[in-house]
Chain A
Amino acid sequence: MTQGLPPALSVRALGLSYGATRILDGIDLTLPAGEVLALLGPSGSGKTTLLRLLAGLLRPDAGRIEIAGKAVADPGRGLFAPPERRGLGMVFQDYALWPHLSVARNVAFPLEMQRCPTAERRARVTRALERVGLAALAERRPSELSGGQQQRVAIARAIVAEPPLVLFDEPLSNLDRELRETMVDEIAALVADLKLSAVYVTHDHAEALALADRIAVMRDGGIAQLAAPATLIDAPASAGIAAFLRLGTLLPASRTEAGWTITGSRVALPDPPNAPAGAAARVLLPERALAPAATASPDARARLAARVLRVQVRASGFALTLRLAGTEHEVALLSPRPAAPGDDLELAFAPEALRWFPATDDPTDHPLP
Chain B
Amino acid sequence: MARGSTTGAGGSRGFLWISALSLGLVVALPALFVVLVAVFPDLGRGSLAAPFRPLWRVLSDPALAVLLRNTLVLGLGTVAVSAALALPLAALRALFRVPCARVWDLLLLIPFMIPPYIAALSWILTLQPRGYLEQLSGVNLAGLLFSVPGIILLMALNTFPVVYFILSRNFETIGARFSDVGRVCGAGPWRAFLRLTLPLATPGIAASLLLVFAMAIEEYGTPAALGRRIGFEVLVTGIENRVSEWPIDLPEAAGLSLVLVLLALAAFAVQRWLLARRDYRILGGKPQPFQKRPLGRWRLPVLALFALVAGVATVLPLLAILAAALGRTISGGLRPDNLGLTNFAELLDLGSGGLRALSHSLSLGVATALLAGGLGAITAYAVARGAGRGRAALDALSLMPNALPGVVVGVGIILAWNQPWLPVSPYNTPLILLLAYTCLLLPQPVRYASAALQQQGDSLEAAARVCGAAPRTAFARIVLPLMTPSLITSMLLVFAVASRELVASLLVAPVGYETISVYIWRQFDQGSVGLGMAMALCTIAITTLIPMLLIALMRGRLSPG
Number of A-B residue pairs at CB separation under 8 A: 120
Check A113–B560 contact: CB distance below 8 A.
no
A84 and B466 contact, CB distance less than 8 A: yes
Determine, out of B5-13, B179-187, B362-370, B437-445, the stretch whose residues face the partner at the interface: B5-13
**Chain B neighbourhood of A87, CB < 8 A:** 468
Q: Could you tell me the distance in whole angstroms from the C-beta of A257 to the nearest C-beta in chain B?
A: 51
The answer to whether the Cβ of B1 comes within 8 Å of any Cβ in the partner chain is: yes
With both beta carbons as reference points, the residue of chain A lying nearest to B478 in the complex is identified as A98
Closest to A88 in B: B466
Q: Of A89, A142, A144, A174, which one neighbours B466 at CB under 8 angstroms?
A: A89
Q: Does B2 contact A (CB under 8 A)?
A: yes
- Segment touching B, from A53-61, A190-198, A244-252, A337-345: A53-61
Stretch at the interface among B27-35, B230-238, B284-292: B284-292
Among the stretches B83-91, B411-419, B457-465, the one at the interface with A is B457-465
Near A by CB (< 8 A), chain B positions 464-487 give: 464-471, 473-474, 477-478, 481-482, 484
Q: Does A127 contact B (CB under 8 A)?
A: no
Are A49 and B2 in touch, CB under 8 angstroms? yes
Complex-state Cα separation, A55 to B5, whole angstroms: 11
Q: Is B561's CB within 8 Å of the partner chain A?
A: yes
Decide yes or no whether B106 CB sits under 8 A from chain A. Answer: no
A243 and B287 alpha carbons, distance in the complex (Å): 37
- Are B469's CB and A84's CB within 8 A? yes
- The answer on a CB contact under 8 Å between B561 and A141 is yes
The answer to the question of A90 belonging to the interface, with a C-beta cut-off of 8 Å to chain B, is: yes
Query: Given A98-B482, A100-B482, A143 and B287 touching (CB < 8 A)?
Result: yes
A227 to B80, CA, bound (A): 63
Closest CB in chain B relative to A311 CB, distance in Å: 32
Whether A43 sits at the interface, judged by CB under 8 Å, is yes
**Cβ of A178 to closest chain B Cβ, rounded Å:** 19
Tell me if A113 and B2 are in contact (CB < 8 A): no
Whether the pair B558, A100 counts as a contact (CB closer than 8 A) is: yes
Q: A82-B10, A82-B471, A83-B462 are in contact. Are A97 and B5 (CB under 8 A)?
A: no
**Contact assessment for A144 and B468 in the assembled complex, using a CB-CB cutoff below 8 Å:** no
CA distance in complex: A150, B289 (Å): 13
* Size of B's binding interface in residues, CB under 8 A: 38
Q: Mark A30-67, 1 if CB is under 8 A from B, else 0.
A: 00000000000001100011001001111100000000
Cα–Cα distance between A161 and B469 once the two chains are bound (Å): 13
B204 to chain A, nearest CB (A): 18
Contacts of B467 in A (CB 8 A): 84, 89-90, 109-110, 113, 157, 161
List of B residues within 8 angstroms of A161 by Cβ: 467-468
- A174 near B1 (CB under 8 angstroms)? no
A95 within 8 A of B: yes
Interface pair A48/B469, CB less than 8 Å apart = no
For A125-146 the 0/1 string (1 means CB < 8 A from B) is 0000000000000000111100
From B4, B288, B466, A83 is in contact (CB under 8 Å) with B466
Q: Report Cα–Cα, A264/B163, bound state, in Å.
A: 69
**Please, how many angstroms separate the alpha-carbon atoms of A193 and B357 in the complex?**
69
Interface centre among B283, B287, B477, B484, by most chain A C-beta atoms within 10 angstroms, is B287
Q: A351 on the interface (CB 8 Å rule)?
A: no
Q: Is the CB of A94 within 8 A of B5?
A: no
Cβ of B9: which chain A residues have Cβ within 8 Å of it? 59
Instruction: Add 14 more A-B contacts to A87-B468, A110-B467 (CB < 8 A).
Output: A43-B1, A56-B465, A89-B466, A90-B463, A92-B285, A98-B460, A100-B482, A100-B484, A109-B469, A141-B287, A142-B287, A143-B288, A143-B289, A150-B287
A–B complex contacts, Cβ < 8 Å, 19 sampled:
A18-B4, A49-B1, A52-B5, A58-B4, A59-B9, A84-B466, A86-B466, A89-B467, A92-B459, A92-B462, A92-B463, A94-B457, A96-B462, A98-B478, A98-B481, A113-B469, A114-B468, A143-B561, A157-B463
A-B pairs with lowest CB-CB distance, top 7: A113-B468, A143-B287, A96-B285, A94-B285, A96-B463, A83-B465, A96-B459
